[in-house]
A and B are shown apart, each in its own frame.
Chain A
């Protein structure tokens, strides 16, 4: 369970996140949608305490992130594809993170196996393809077997096989009763993966609803999304007519 209450973050005169309130519930995949620059990544960073809010608060299971004693055992996060040192092997990277939260060493091999990186685990992670880097990020997020998962654009740059792998993984994790919060700007991907949606534009909440409700009355989820976010895109291109 993630609860954001009036969450606000400004950078100079720009308001990146503007009095944002929403809940993310366990047992389903919740998609976090919004145009580029709408504040999705900033919100994710605020949830993890990497950035401090100017106002409001966000709690995970009733507590702030930095109050968690062993955070990886409660929250797993993947914020960027390559959050690892290029000179370190995947196994050492995960072993270091595991040691930091007193997670048994055997869990490292389990998650490597789970994401299909066992054979590449000893190689320097700097040589990894984007897809392998994403898998390593997912492995790190799953290390502590957390009840809450946060993934920022997990399918970015993945091939179709990788996209399907992420999709199946997310739905099975949610089916186990976990809270799964996934940001994306790919509406079609969210249409097939998510049950609930939190939609933001210019840092403000536009909708907190189910996929079914949002698409009802529109031709598609995409059409509903554009109607919702029409006023909040940062740089609108002209419609092309042919």
Chain B
């Protein structure tokens, strides 16, 4: 699944290791404050469907994080030692981030033993399912809130993301025509043959762009 750790995550992990607790608390507070602005639907649904206290325990860090979802909204803080929670998720930081940002399927991670979830499974499942409804960018948010590196990195990544999106939209458009043909009783094979090359070309280009996105932080 996640092969190798992308550079932004390295930065984030380094940041988490180096930052003194008060500074880290400030960053977390700012991320918490930005959530209702950037993801109002997500926050509303989390509060309604998955209220509770969720502990995140990266096995490769000394800190643990507590996400409180309740009437006060969604608040991310550093967890105190022995902090009580409804459910806890344990695994490498990269895994936890991939899960939270929707890149990794939590069942897959559980099957592979990359994570373990303990506590109230009903809440944990609700939390996971609600979170999966929207794309959030924790690493980006984190980096955007500390360090001079953030702006150029963010701009480069955004540019590439836009190009990937455009290419993907074209691919979906081609695909739509095939499906219309298939569902309306035309011979889809004919259509497929005609558009096959086009799809291949687009897929190739999307692949290239995606690889560049992955490499982006190193190349900027």
Chains A and B are bound partners: no
Q: Which residues of A contact B (CB under 8 A)?
A: none
Q: Which residues of B contact A (CB under 8 A)?
A: none
